[in-house]
Chains A and B, each alone.
Chain A
Amino acid sequence: MATPAQISVNEVVSRYLFKYKLSTDDAFIYLEHACNCVRDFHLYDSPNVVPAKVTITALGIIEMPQDMVGFNELYKFIDGVKWPFTFNDNIITTTTIIGGVETRDADYGEGEAIVDPKSDTYGGIGGVNDYYYKPDWKSRRIFVEGTINDTAVLLYTTSGVELTGTTYIPEFITPMLDSYMLWKSSYWIPTLVRERGMLEKDYKNAEAKIRNLINGMGYNEWKDLLLSLTTQAPLR
């Protein structure tokens, strides 16, 4: 049996201290940096986004999940297929509190339906959607137009660091975490100060290698791409 494909971030730090003959004195410092690297991996490198079933409130608002660091897609299901929402930067993202209750004030355009500039006569061009969204990162909400009291699916990038359970990461990204911790340690280990540029380069190389691997297309994907773009004739 081969070694597990996933290991915990704790284990990465312990193995790092072991591999580089380091003192356990700084274990928690390395842990912080390792978690930062895990977050960066999920944010910049990993194509894995997390789906979450979310509720659209009566005010047309979706509360962002706590671990959400990046937006990927929002869609609902119509006739068995997913129907994505369209980003609209002009959606009003304020609410009004009346008597301690949050509402939306139409005088300020809050929650008002968007009237799309449609043209279905000669020269009509472009498509419009029935559903729009706009993330408000400060209030950590997504404002939705087109439907309320509804459910949808949110695809988002997670920080990747578990709050209540063990944080697992793909084992093959261990070299990237190692080089990240080595690079960051040059900020407090005086003998590594001169090496900082080289250590950063090592990290970038490790990151590029992993990014190439996880974003590279395999033989079957290339084959499917070529076949989908070409016309095949029966071979007799």
Chain B
Amino acid sequence: MIKSEIRSTVLNSLKRYDSTAKFHQRVLDAECEFVLHQMLGEVFRMSPHSLQRYTKGYGYTVALAVLTEASTGIYYTTLPENILVFLDKASGVRRVATPTQTSIKFYPIDQREWDLIAYGSYANTVKNQIGYIVTPTRVEYYGMTGEVITSGVRMDLIIPFSEYADTDVVLYPEHIIGEEGKGFIDRVVDRLLAKPQTVNLSDQNKDKEE
């Protein structure tokens, strides 16, 4: 479903006090975002590889730039969107690749490993393997090559619900049913049931966002 359809489905699943009762979009989106992250976390615990199904690609039409931080010499790419955080090293950046498919492979590492292998490891001696470290705002690289600096990279990210455009298809793990037999929409609706609806009887909610 596209994002606006999800929002509409949630909205129409809610029991209203009366015909004028309204929910703010942001309230709905915030609950969708929470439940989506929660359910993707369940997918991760079952099979981290499966998270690839819920990614959104960036840099496929125009490659993402690889930049150099002058003060540290670190190669990095600024994240094109916020990402969701997961417990493994790849976190919300499930895949990094060169714009065209080449033999160069990107593997997730963390800062501790970077410090350990930066000098005097076998990793220094091999070619075509680049480590990437996911930070909240950017992806840093270990073993970057001139070829990739020139070409740039593409990434598959898992992004929060709020980062999708209204017309974007949002893939959510509907097949995951909790102990109560509830999927994505049900869980969002459940969370909204206890939230107060906006009813302004004086102006029939005319100025309220829906």
Which residues of A are at the interface with B, using a C-beta cutoff of 8 A? 8-10, 14, 21, 23-25, 27-29, 31-32, 35-36, 161-167
A23-B49, A25-B89, A28-B117 as given contacts; A162 in contact with B105, CB under 8 Å: no
CB-defined interface of B76-104 with A at 8 Å, one 1/0 digit per residue? 00000000000011100000000000000
Q: Distance (Å) between the CB of A70 and the closest chain B CB?
A: 19
List, in ascending order, chain A residues with CB within 8 A of B123's CB: 28, 31-32
In the complex the two chains form, is B129's CB within 8 Å of A10's CB? Answer: yes
Chain B's interface size range is 20 to 34
Cα A21 to Cα B90 with chains together (Å) = 16
Residue of A9, A28, A35, A165 touching B113 (CB-CB under 8 A): A28
Which residues of B are at the interface with A, using a C-beta cutoff of 8 A? 48-49, 88-90, 105, 107-109, 113, 117, 121-123, 125-129, 131
Q: Distance (Å) between the CB of B123 and the closest chain A CB?
A: 5
Cα A24 to Cα B123 with chains together (Å) = 14
Residue among B117, B123, B125, B129 with the highest chain A CB neighbour number at 10 A: B125
In the complex the two chains form, is A25's CB within 8 Å of B90's CB? Answer: yes
A31-B129, A163-B125 as given contacts; A23 in contact with B105, CB under 8 Å: no
A10-B129, A14-B105, A21-B49 provided; 12 other pairs, C-beta below 8 A?
A10-B128, A24-B90, A25-B88, A25-B108, A27-B107, A27-B129, A28-B107, A28-B109, A28-B113, A28-B123, A31-B122, A161-B125
In the complex the two chains form, is B105's CB within 8 Å of A10's CB? Answer: yes
List, in ascending order, chain A residues with CB within 8 A of B90's CB: 24-25
In the complex the two chains form, is B122's CB within 8 Å of A161's CB? Answer: yes
List, in ascending order, chain B residues with CB within 8 A of A23's CB: 48-49, 88
In the complex the two chains form, is A35's CB within 8 Å of B107's CB? Answer: no
In the complex the two chains form, is A35's CB within 8 Å of B127's CB? Answer: no
Q: Distance (Å) between the CB of A81 and the closest chain B CB?
A: 37
List, in ascending order, chain A residues with CB within 8 A of B105's CB: 10, 14, 27
List, in ascending order, chain A residues with CB within 8 A of B126's CB: 8-10, 31, 166-167
Q: Distance (Å) between the CB of A19 and the closest chain B CB?
A: 14
Residue of B nearest to A163 (CB): B125
Q: Distance (Å) between the CB of B153 and the closest chain A CB?
A: 15
Residue among B107, B121, B127 with the highest chain A CB neighbour number at 10 A: B107
Residue of A nearest to B131 (CB): A28
Cα A167 to Cα B127 with chains together (Å) = 9
Residue of A nearest to B47 (CB): A21
List, in ascending order, chain A residues with CB within 8 A of B129's CB: 10, 27-28, 31
Cα A164 to Cα B129 with chains together (Å) = 13
List, in ascending order, chain A residues with CB within 8 A of B48's CB: 23
Cα A166 to Cα B126 with chains together (Å) = 6
In the complex the two chains form, is B127's CB within 8 Å of A166's CB? Answer: yes
In the complex the two chains form, is B107's CB within 8 Å of A24's CB? Answer: yes
Q: Distance (Å) between the CB of A136 and the closest chain B CB?
A: 23
Cα A27 to Cα B48 with chains together (Å) = 15
Cα A161 to Cα B124 with chains together (Å) = 11
List, in ascending order, chain A residues with CB within 8 A of B127's CB: 10, 165-166
List, in ascending order, chain B residues with CB within 8 A of A166's CB: 126-128
The 7 A-B residue pairs whose C-beta atoms are closest, nearest first, are A35-B122, A27-B107, A25-B89, A24-B107, A28-B123, A163-B125, A32-B122
Cα A202 to Cα B105 with chains together (Å) = 29
Cα A69 to Cα B201 with chains together (Å) = 86
Cα A166 to Cα B36 with chains together (Å) = 43
Cα A56 to Cα B84 with chains together (Å) = 62
Residue of B nearest to A164 (CB): B125
Residue of B nearest to A166 (CB): B127
